[in-house]
Amino acid sequence: MAKKLKLLITDKIDTTKLDPLRGYFDIDTRVGIKTDELLRGIASYHTIITRSSTALPKEILTKADNLKIIGRAGIGVDNIDIFEATKKSIAVLNAPKGNARVTAEHTIGLLFALFRHVPQANADLKKGIWGKSKYVGTQVYGKTLGIIGFGNVGKEVYRLAHGIGMDVVVCEPYVRLPKQVRKVTFEELLKEADILTFHVPHTYLTTNMLNRKTLELCKKGVYIINCSRGAVVEETAILEGLTSDHIAGFAVDVFVKEPKVNKKLLQFPNVIATPHIAGSTIESQRLSIEEVVSGIIHYLKGQPPSNLLNPQVFKKRLKRRKGRLTFDAVIFDCDSTLSGVEGIDELARQLGKGEEVAKLTKAAMDGTMNFEQVYERRFSLVHPSREHLHDLGKLYIEKLVTDAKGVIEALTFLGKDVYIVSGGFSPALLSLGKYLGIPEKNIFGNDVIHDENGKYIRFVEGPLRRNHGKLQIIRQIPGKKLVVGDSITDLETIEYVDLFVGYGGVTRREKVERAAPVYVYAQSLTPILILAGGFGECVKLLSTKYRKYVGKGLDLLMHPNHVKVEKNLLSELSQFKDLAYYNG
């Protein structure tokens, strides 16, 4: 009988839900294990299941020589160094659905408590005070709720709020929303909503999303609910807003420091606070562990878990199918792919920070530095105005890669859906997309909030500023997908799309060149047209104005100095040689 793997449980969980794992693991339960003990013993474990009490920072993970899976029985993974885990090929799973419903229920409960003064009236009555006239409430029906973040919790909050007759607007720049959901920008949401509710993870870019400047955009008398992460709202701004009556009420379940909360907040009568219990119910805790256990079993069986946070560690490749060189969607990066410009580097140069930011960009694109750390540093240096981004859009067009416009027109002619998914800034990307004829809905970038004079206020949080964010967006695009890009963040999609093409026509990155099944060295996108169209559709182009792109693309694609192609794709490409003599 094969020796079982070792599983460590570090937090209190419902152990009956571990039964499906007992055939795979010897289970060692050490609730409340100390850091020094974990450092000494972690090398012997294959899998760890934890909640929020146990931290797994870099210094611990570097000792985890045999660790393959970390399961977080909850949503937040602030306590896990995912970048270090990914470097060591450790899969990190969480439970995004387990407590989503109950967190949404808690959010709506706090909303009613705010509007009807439930805790205050209860406290007075227990003191013998009959405050019927004192606690005249406000009707929830018909009010506008602004939801920031439309993940599992945000979706459930939407469902509940809509069900009680609220008008709902949603700020979620990157996830495709159902048609019935009204999508707005963060700035529009702040101006329109009567109540704000936050449902985003805590990253550098969501830190203090609501601050003095953004609070100024809100209605006077706004209500605010935070059941996401404490640092998403700036406590100083909340205190000032409560003092000035700009904020009519604040309900909070999460704090910057826990359990030592800011007591100044609790002194306001219109503040309702709970001790981080939004996701804590008997049912949700069971569901969370079930979700993690299911993910672990999928991983052990060689199947990609739906709750895997760093999917690039899952190395199982989809089988390449004969005739696979036809695609529904062609997805381009922008910087150093469609255009010969690195946008943030160009902005930094204009702002006198060029050399420092260029080094950070190279580290991110080469994969030698944590992506979020790079963004944190770059965004602290570069605060572009509306005019800066307008000029960047013009520069993107001016420095467009050879044949890019014609190739995209040809792809559109063939009925392909063309996308731009980029870590660049949305206003500049939209200018480029308009020039290229790419629909606005197919362009994904990073949004910036400016004041009425065009001065920078802040960046808007979204997946494209987080590790693996590009992959998150691309996985949602329907159909067979071909992705074209130059960087490590583009390469991460390789296991989850039908074909990845590395592009080195502007900047050659060794890791991408080595791993990509197809790598274009030439400064031309015509080989992409051939790959995306396939034989039959390229034949159609021979009788159109796009014929010249077919000829050029074929010449480049068949020449190893211009395009590198994996051996197992060469047989599929051989059919294209016939196009040179095709008279149809």
Whether the pLDDT of residue 27 is over 60: the answer is: yes
**Separate counts of helices (H) and strands (E) for the chain:** 23, 21
Give CA–CA dist 471/333, Å, rounded. 12
Instruction: Find the mean pLDDT for residues 50-68.
Output: 92
pLDDT-based confidence at 372, cuts 50/70/90?
Answer: low
Give CA–CA dist 74/192, Å, rounded. 32
Are 563 and 527 spatial neighbours (Cβ–Cβ below 8 Å)?
A: yes
Give CA–CA dist 85/65, Å, rounded. 11
pLDDT at 367: 62
* pTM, entire model: 0.63
Written as one letter, the residue type at 291 is E
Give CA–CA dist 450/467, Å, rounded. 25
Strands 456-459 and 481-485, bridge-based pairing: unpaired
Please report the DSSP string for 18-59 in residue order: GGGGTTTEEEEE-TT--HHHHHHHGGG-SEEEE-SSS-B-HH
Whether the pLDDT of residue 580 is over 70: the answer is: no
pLDDT digit string (tens) for 259-292?
889 999 999 999 999 999 999 899 998 999 999 9
pLDDT at 174: 62
Written as one letter, the residue type at 375 is Y
pLDDT-based confidence at 368, cuts 50/70/90?
Answer: low
The lowest-confidence range among 10-24, 238-252, 462-476, 491-505 is 462-476
Whether the pLDDT of residue 54 is over 50: the answer is: yes
pLDDT digit string (tens) for 527-573?
999 999 887 788 888 889 998 998 898 888 888 889 998 877 766 66
Whether the pLDDT of residue 127 is over 90: the answer is: yes
Dihedral over Cα of 315, 316, 318, 320: its sign? positive
pLDDT digit string (tens) for 452-461?
889 888 877 6
pLDDT at 495: 83
Whether the pLDDT of residue 12 is over 80: the answer is: yes
3 state DSSP class of 183: strand
pLDDT-based confidence at 68, cuts 50/70/90?
Answer: very high
Cα angle 280, 281, 282; round to 5? 130
Please report the DSSP string for 373-394 in residue order: HHHHHHHHH----HHHHHHHHH
pLDDT-based confidence at 316, cuts 50/70/90?
Answer: very low
Catalytic positions, written as ranges: 229, 258, 276
Between 450 and 173, residue with greater pLDDT:
450
Strands 247-252 and 271-273, bridge-based pairing: parallel
Cα angle 339, 345, 349; round to 5? 120
CA proximity to 564, closest of 511, 503, 507:
503
pLDDT digit string (tens) for 239-262?
999 999 999 999 999 999 888 899
pLDDT at 581: 45
pLDDT at 370: 65
Are 85 and 92 spatial neighbours (Cβ–Cβ below 8 Å)?
A: yes
pLDDT-based confidence at 578, cuts 50/70/90?
Answer: low
Span between the terminal Cα atoms of the chain, in Å: 64
What is residue 477's DSSP assignment?
S
pLDDT at 390: 94
Chain CA centroid to CA 357, Å: 22
pLDDT at 365: 62
Percentage of residues in the chain having pLDDT higher than 70: 91
pLDDT at 205: 62
Give the domains, in start order, of the chain with CATH numbers: 5-96+284-313 (3.40.50.720), 100-273 (3.40.50.720), 329-581 (3.40.50.1000)
Between 97 and 320, residue with greater pLDDT:
97
Place of tokens 């080595």: 514
Chain CA centroid to CA 21, Å: 30
The lowest-confidence range among 234-238, 386-390, 495-499 is 495-499
Instruction: Find the mean pLDDT for residues 70-97.
Output: 88
Mean of pLDDT over the chain: 88
Are 89 and 313 spatial neighbours (Cβ–Cβ below 8 Å)?
A: yes
Q: Is 479 left (phi over 0), alpha (psi -120 to 50) or beta?
A: left
Length of the chain in residues, anyone?
Answer: 584
**Environment class of 376 (CB within 10 Å of its CB; exposed 0-12, middle 13-18, buried 19+):** middle
Are 348 and 382 spatial neighbours (Cβ–Cβ below 8 Å)?
A: yes
Q: Record the tokens describing residue 150, joined without a space.
A: 């439309």
